[in-house]
Structures are given as structure tokens and as C-alpha cells.
């Protein structure tokens, strides 16, 4: 790795840490974000800060409308916690396996809780470079 790449990488990590510290200071929850994406890695490369303390992170999964077995469409982001809990939850496997039924996972116990599960850990590892760049873009847009 050349010196220029290492400096960019270190700068991105410093920005990531600064953003995390800012979120912790303001008690804003950070969540992965996407809308109707068939590619989970896209969802895991965009991070937003929830605007309200009453919000939680959510992940919505819908079976692919084309009927492809195992394929899903994902939406992630922030949502009012009460509204999220009123949605069909992904823990109800029989309900969520029905064709076309959207099921939600709601969480607020830690930042980025709507993405890091054992099922998508590989996708997350594959998106770390783009996630770092996405966080850097958010930081630069926020402060410059």
C-alpha cells in the first residue's frame, strides 16, 4: 500500500470516529439506510443519523416481487419506534415467509444495529471500503 492510500484510509477512519463521537454526544442513533434495494451491500454503505430520540433503526425485508426463491428487497433507516413495533416483525417466521409480506426488525440498543447480523456479516465486510467513503462523504457534507 502506498503512502497516499494509507493517509486516505487514516483520514477516513478519523472522520468515522469523529462522526461516532458526535452522534454519542448528541445521543443521536446512527442507522444503515436504503430504500427498496435488492443489494444488501448498498444498504450497508449508507449511514444516517436519526433526528428524534423517539426513533429507532429498522430493517424491512420483502420477498422479491418476481418470486425468485430467497431473493429479498431491503429498506433500512430510522422510524418512530412505536410505529416500527406495530409492523409485522421478522421474528414471526411464518408470516414473513409469505410472498409479498414485508417484515420489520426494530432496534435502538446501539448504533448501526439494523445491519450487523450473522447473516449479513460477510456483506458488511465486503462493503467496509465503500462504507468508510460514505461516512467520509457524510462528514464532509455536514461540516464543510
Range of the domain at 35: 29-127
pTM over 0.75: no
In this structure, the strands spanning 55-63 and 103-107 are antiparallel
CA atoms within a 13 Å half-sphere pointing along the CA-CB vector of 44: 19
| Overall domain count for the chain | 1
CATH of the domain at 79: 2.10.60.10
Strand order in the sheet with 34-37: 34-37, 72-80, 55-63, 103-107
What's the whole-number mean pLDDT along residues 123-129? 52
Per-residue pLDDT reduced to its tens digit, 44-58:
999 999 999 999 999
Amino acid at each position: 500500500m502506498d503512502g497516499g492510500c494509507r493517509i486516505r484510509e487514516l483520514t477516513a477512519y478519523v472522520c468515522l470516529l469523529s462522526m461516532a463521537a458526535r452522534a454519542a454526544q448528541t445521543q443521536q442513533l446512527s442507522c444503515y439506510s436504503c430504500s427498496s434495494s435488492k443489494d444488501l451491500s448498498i444498504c450497508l454503505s449508507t449511514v444516517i443519523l436519526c433526528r428524534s430520540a423517539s426513533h429507532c433503526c429498522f430493517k424491512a425485508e420483502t420477498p422479491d416481487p418476481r418470486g425468485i426463491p430467497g431473493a429479498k428487497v431491503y429498506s433500512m433507516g430510522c422510524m418512530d419506534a412505536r410505529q416500527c413495533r406495530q409492523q409485522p416483525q421478522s421474528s414471526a417466521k411464518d408470516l414473513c415467509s409469505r410472498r409479498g409480506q414485508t417484515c420489520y426488525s426494530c432496534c435502538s440498543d446501539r448504533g448501526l444495529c439494523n445491519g450487523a447480523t450473522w447473516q449479513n456479516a460477510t456483506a458488511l465486510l465486503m462493503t467496509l471500503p465503500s462504507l468508510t467513503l460514505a461516512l467520509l462523504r457524510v462528514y464532509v457534507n455536514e461540516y464543510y
